Chain A
Amino acid sequence: MDPSRSPESVLDDLAARQLLIVSGKGGVGRTTVAALLGIALARRGRRVLVATVGPDDRLAWMLGQRSLSESPVAARPGLFIQRVVPHVCIREYGGLVLHSDRIAAAVLDNGPMRRLLRTIPGLDDFAILGKVWHEAVRDNNVDAVVFDGPATGHLRYCLGIPQAILRTLTVGPLPREARLMQDSLEDPRSVQSVLVGLPDRWPLSELGEMAAALREELHVGVGAVVVNGLWPAGLPELGAVDPDPEQDPDGAVARVFAATTVVARQARRQREGVTAWLESERAAGRAGAPVLALPWHWQGFTGVGDLEQVLAGLERPDLSAR
């Protein structure tokens, strides 16, 4: 992992790709990072679609919109957001291949057929991957797609589907499509993954191993590792103090000092964890992916302003204690 590059140059690099696949464990802020990348790319003049599989509309809420739709909606100039739904993707693909939306809808929207398609394991994931790949690589509606994708536990399955199809089938349209998708996935100029983790040593180590597996098994590049939620650096560790009965009769000062110390220690522990992880990555010979750090945003995300504030505070992991 390479923490030495400036955030701006890392984002410039990511902005040159067609498809960015954002992943990480549950609850680490995948959607936040996808929305941030969307804003960063749009600012660089790219027409960008952020596509999510998330179960709720938080991507829309973060960008100041009410809800997500199954077709792209402009959240701001050059930035579109959309929910990708497997069944809709399958029907759209059907229309494309059959050259008839009507026939595709007649067959694929048929009730029992819909339910049958849901029972075929892997089809949903393949449909979604196919859809974001199509929008990013084959179609010209947008310059780039940021895919707020599955959690890491599911990512290898999902990105492994084209390979699984190629191993299983030799003739017909499916392996043809899978071949094209696999070629894009393996082309670092076209597709990069962005992995998100919390600032803690062992979860980051798991993420580092995931990055290695993506490169080695699936041949997918890792464009950046984002360490999300670093607590503020530079706080004094004041330690516990007894309330001064004259100056601080109700203990308010002592309370603030104690709380400050909690935050300062946690911030220090986080930075130590990130440093230890980076050292172990270096020792394991896994240099490479740039690392970005996002500050802890305790206000939550309720609009573009919040995201822009975080984007402005994006840093190279500042690992000094102060």
Chain B
Amino acid sequence: MPPTLSTTDPLAFAAARRVVLCVGPGGVGKTTCAAALALGSAQRGRRVLVVTIDPSRRLAQALGFTSAVDGGRPMPVPLPGGDASGGSLHALWLASEHVFAELVQAYAATPEAAAAILRNPIYKAMAENLGGALEYAAMAKLQLLHAAREYDLIVLDTPPTANAIEFLSAPERIHELATNPAARLLTGGGKLGARLLGIGNSLVLRTLSTLAGGSFITELGAFLRDFSTVLFAFQARAGDFQSLLTSPDTGVVLATSASPFSVREALDFLAVLHERGLRVDSVVLNRVLPPFPPPPPEPVLRAALATRLSAETGSNPVDEAVLADNLARILAAYKGLDAQGQQAVQARAALVRGYPRLPLWLLPQREPPPTSLSDLQDLVAQFVRAA
């Protein structure tokens, strides 16, 4: 079933998807969009899981988390207005150490091998302390969840842009671990590895030992061998991540703010998504202000302000300096708002120019930002189709 092309319903496309990735630059409201999409879809009768990474405190609270410690398993989120639709919402706060432990326990050759990996200090450092692991974990978890078929729809909030590209290339990196000749050199397949590298075996090992220490290189080699066995077993079982990403089951929502930097980042990211064969279902231009018409002639505004201030302060006439000061501040603020509105107009034009056939939705700026489940529910009604 192709996605429904609705010009009035921002959630219609998701009915045809089993996985939706929410991507975009940092700080544009990705997590909020992901949560609103998940909630709306649950209220339409689907069993939905939203997977978030580093949610803001208030959103986490709205979803029922108190800390990332809960992050090992999906938490049920009560739907506002009840579950008469038959749908349900769960939320999962992704923590890489939980995912890795799950993988190792499920896919190591033997329980002893699993215990050995989990004890390995390099593994511990990687799963608990080091960056880059989150992208692997998000990818693996998505595959496990998708395969388990416990949910009709999984909405994944991805890390900000630079890391989202890392996220998309995570499967290539895992593949690399198992096939890379340099890795084979470290893991003991010395001669063959060196021949494939085209440089001397001893030169490579000597260089790496000087850089990082001989015993570390040996340990790293052992770790890579054991861990890549796990990842390979997992991959063989779970199938190709790339084909999940490019499957018709999977759609992408890209969120951006109207700031020129964010829009540039969003356009670059759209290019990467298309290049990699992902289906972008919609673009959300978030926190949009309307452009403002020019202010009235200054004397008109001054007179109106004088009347208003004198009514407020009881002094008639209003002190000239106070009036001038207020007038200047008011005009500056109005100009500032208008500049924001103009930015949104330009952002919209740039997105339409770059991707004329992509559905574009505007979401007006809300102050204060949505934080509760009912705020998120209201959000769905505020989307405006712009292209």
A157 close to B207 (CB less than 8 A): no
Q: Is B181 an interface residue (CB 8 A)?
A: yes
Q: With A122-B126, A232-B332, A298-B340 known to touch, is A110 a contact of B161 (CB < 8 Å)?
A: no
Interface size on B, residues (CB 8 A): 85
Q: Is B160 an interface residue (CB 8 A)?
A: yes
* Bound CA–CA A172/B368 (angstroms): 53
Neighbouring B residues of A118 by C-beta, 8 Å = 173, 176
* Bound CA–CA A260/B243 (angstroms): 52
* Bound CA–CA A255/B161 (angstroms): 38
The secondary structure that dominates the A interface is helix
List residues of B (341-387) whose CB comes within 8 Å of A's CBs. 343, 367-369
Q: With A115-B180, A116-B183 known to touch, is A97 a contact of B211 (CB < 8 Å)?
A: yes
Best-surrounded residue of B130, B210, B214, B260 (most CB of chain A within 10 A): B130
Interface residues on A, range: 35 or more
B203 close to A103 (CB less than 8 A): yes
Q: With A118-B173, A124-B132, A247-B300 known to touch, is A107 a contact of B126 (CB < 8 Å)?
A: no
A116 close to B300 (CB less than 8 A): no
What per-residue 1/0 map shows which CB atoms of A86-124 lie under 8 Å from chain B? 000000011001100001101110101101101111101
Neighbouring B residues of A28 by C-beta, 8 Å = 27
**Contact among B131, B161, B294, B325 for A121, CB-based, below 8 A:** B131
* Bound CA–CA A236/B365 (angstroms): 22
* Bound CA–CA A256/B335 (angstroms): 10
Q: Is B250 an interface residue (CB 8 A)?
A: no
Q: Chain A's nearest CB lies how many Å from the CB of B88? A: 28
Q: Is B279 an interface residue (CB 8 A)?
A: no
- 21 interchain pairs, CB-CB under 8 A: A26-B27, A27-B28, A54-B162, A55-B161, A56-B268, A106-B203, A116-B182, A119-B176, A121-B133, A122-B131, A122-B133, A125-B132, A169-B216, A202-B58, A203-B57, A206-B57, A232-B336, A235-B333, A247-B303, A252-B294, A299-B339
Q: Using CB atoms and an 8 Å cutoff, list the residues of chain A in contact with chain B.
A: 25-28, 53-56, 58, 93-94, 97-98, 103-104, 106-108, 110, 112-113, 115-116, 118-122, 124-125, 150-151, 153-154, 157-158, 160-161, 163-165, 167-169, 171-175, 200, 202-203, 205-206, 231-232, 234-236, 238, 241, 244, 247-248, 252-253, 255-257, 259-260, 262-266, 269, 296, 298-300
